[in-house]
Amino acid sequence: MEQIVSALRQNPEAVEIIKANCQHYQSQAYLKKGLKRTIEHLEWVLAADNDIERICTQIMADDHIGGKFRQYPLLFKGVNSAHKE
């Protein structure tokens, strides 16, 4: 997860990949309640603030929501590869 945060700091446009991942998983018919709630929280974080440092801080936060973000790494799929390009 630290690699993802590092990639986000170096390429803030990768937030769009996270938003697309959220939309992709949100559109699926059968989601676990926890994943659905985590997607909602992540969308709130992304909508509330455009500051990449605060977004990264939320992802790595040592609280319930930060833990949930880290529990579902598929939400961040593609962020690392966007950084390498």
Question: Cα(1)–Cα(63) distance, rounded to whole angstroms?
Answer: 15
pTM: 0.87
Please report the pLDDT score of residue 33 as a whole number. Answer: 92
Please report the pLDDT score of residue 52 as a whole number. Answer: 93
CB atoms within 10 A of CB 25: 17
pLDDT, tens only, 34-78: 999 999 999 999 998 889 999 999 999 999 999 999 999 999 999
Question: Cα(36)–Cα(40) distance, rounded to whole angstroms?
Answer: 6
